Amino acid sequence: MKTFIIENNLTEKNNEETVWSFLPDSALCNAGKPFFIPENSGVMEVFIAPVVKITRLGKSVAPRFATRYYSQAAAGLHFRDTTLRRQLLDKGLPPDIAQSFDRSLILGDFLPVNEIIGDKPLTLQINGIKVAEWCLDKMNTDIGSLFQKISTANTLKMGDYLIPGLSAGSKICIGDNLELNLDDKILLSVQIK
């Protein structure tokens, strides 16, 4: 199973080339469990990460057929050591160890895709204060085009995940309470330890 993260899909970044990274299976964690900040980490940040579940095998998927390959999505939170990530990137090294560690992606329940990825924004609150928002209309590249780009290089398999874009990051500390909301509904709640 693969988790694709589109790294540069926010309109303010305005990059021409779509770039993605991968998360291992061990990075996934279900809701209801706290997030433990790894020892000796630098500044740890959290990102809103909506996750689309891929439901069939696909290679070189045309954008117009992309909706045949997914029907569910989940609200997710992705954690990164942004200090370490920046150091690695500055040295021309891959940033995997700063973002692909165990339990770095916490997922809520999978629901029909339009309930998670639609017109309404996902909002993140830390200790009751809104700190970030994720909207479909802030993406440079639509999901259908992402399916085409990824499946040209990588075979999509049933059970793979796609994160079509991350929100801006928000710093977290031990003791913080995170809530990911859609309107007034709490989709995900995580305690930082």
- CATH no. for residue 109? 3.90.850.10
Mention every residue, 6+ apart, whose C-beta is less than 8 A from residue 68: 56
Residue pair 7/78 in contact (Cβ under 8 Å)? The answer is no
pLDDT band at 156 (very low <50, low <70, confident <90, very high): very high
For the chain, what percent of residues have pLDDT higher than 90?
A: 82
As a 3-state breakdown, the chain gives helix, strand, coil percent values, each rounded to 5, of: 20, 40, 40
pLDDT at position 14 over 60: no
Q: Does the residue 177 lie in any domain? A: no
Domain that holds residue 66: 3-119+137-172
pLDDT at 12 (0 to 100) = 59
Q: Does the residue 26 lie in any domain? A: yes
Q: What is the pLDDT of residues 97-147, one digit of tens each?
A: 999 999 999 999 999 999 999 889 999 999 999 999 999 888 888 999 999
Note the residue count of the chain. Answer: 193
Could you give the number of structural domains in the chain?
Answer: 1
For the chain, what percent of residues have pLDDT higher than 70?
A: 97
Mention every residue, 6+ apart, whose C-beta is less than 8 A from residue 42: 81, 82, 83, 84
Q: Does the residue 125 lie in any domain? A: no
Q: Does the residue 19 lie in any domain? A: yes
pLDDT at position 38 over 60: yes
Q: Does the residue 154 lie in any domain? A: yes
Distances (CA, A) of 2 to 16, 30, 62, 149, 161: 24, 16, 20, 15, 6
Q: Does the residue 47 lie in any domain? A: yes
Q: Does the residue 186 lie in any domain? A: no
Backbone angles phi, psi at 51, to 5 degrees: -120, 125
Q: Does the residue 131 lie in any domain? A: no
pLDDT at position 16 over 90: no
Placement of tokens 């994160």 in the chain: 163
